[in-house]
A = this chain, B = another copy of it.
């Protein structure tokens, strides 16, 4: 399903910063080019000039960077409604890559227009800064996850994070959610190999902590999974405590 481009974004931004009706309209009125893109399409490339910023209207995306030897580290996963490149809003050269995970619809906005809007409407600038800082907070948690947790904890933590974030948007339900990532990609997100991700998922499944049907994943024992993943949603800086964040089961 494709959602009107900016509505989800506006809703997301408005959760944490106060936006007037005029602010909201200004956001929705941004000159955006809607584009359908294939899975794996590059939206931003490391080292290149940053000329635009996009919003995910539907589909999933991720940010990524590569070592000289070609190993990939996924830096974050993005779900519908999220702005994809506010990280570079004030930087001229991209320091990482942004790619779609699935087929996706993106609304592309010239970077300059967004900067101008932020300057003309401070509350929008502030709201964008909040969004960027929340993304940074998530990256910090990933640093902790990869640097100091073992495989089982890492995988559990990632599954919890995506569940809570999707739930906050109403995109996850009692049946769990579909995580459109290969195990190779999951591995690159948590600093493991695909093989080891597989074994870890199998183990979590054997312990009854997750259930899988293809890539649809659900959580028979949410509380326990949260404990295994050492997950606490503080770092997501959610405005309202969603029921999942508060500790209830997502599925």
Chain A positions within 8 Å of B, measured between CB atoms, are 17, 46-47, 63, 65-69, 71-73, 75, 87-91, 93, 95-96, 119, 122, 125-126, 129-130, 132-137, 139-144, 146-149, 153, 188, 190-191, 230, 232, 234-235, 237
Closest B residue to A66 by CB, please name it: B144
Within the assembled complex, what's the spacing in Å between the Cα atoms of A230 and B91?
22
Q: How far is the CA of A68 from the CA of B63 in the complex (A)?
A: 27
- Given contacts A73-B148, A96-B137, A147-B188, 17 further A-B pairs with CB under 8 A are A17-B90, A47-B234, A66-B144, A67-B149, A67-B153, A68-B232, A75-B144, A87-B136, A90-B133, A91-B133, A91-B134, A91-B137, A125-B125, A132-B132, A132-B136, A146-B191, A147-B191
- Bound together, the chains give a CA A228 to CA B215 distance in angstroms of 38
Rounded to whole angstroms, the CA-CA distance of A188 and B148 in the bound complex is: 8
B144 touches A143 (CB 8 A): no
- Expressed in whole angstroms, the Cα–Cα distance for A149 and B65 within the complex equals 12
Contact A89 B230 (CB under 8 A): no
Given the known inter-chain contacts A67-B144, A93-B237, A139-B140, please indicate yes or no for A87 contacting B133, CB distance below 8 A: yes
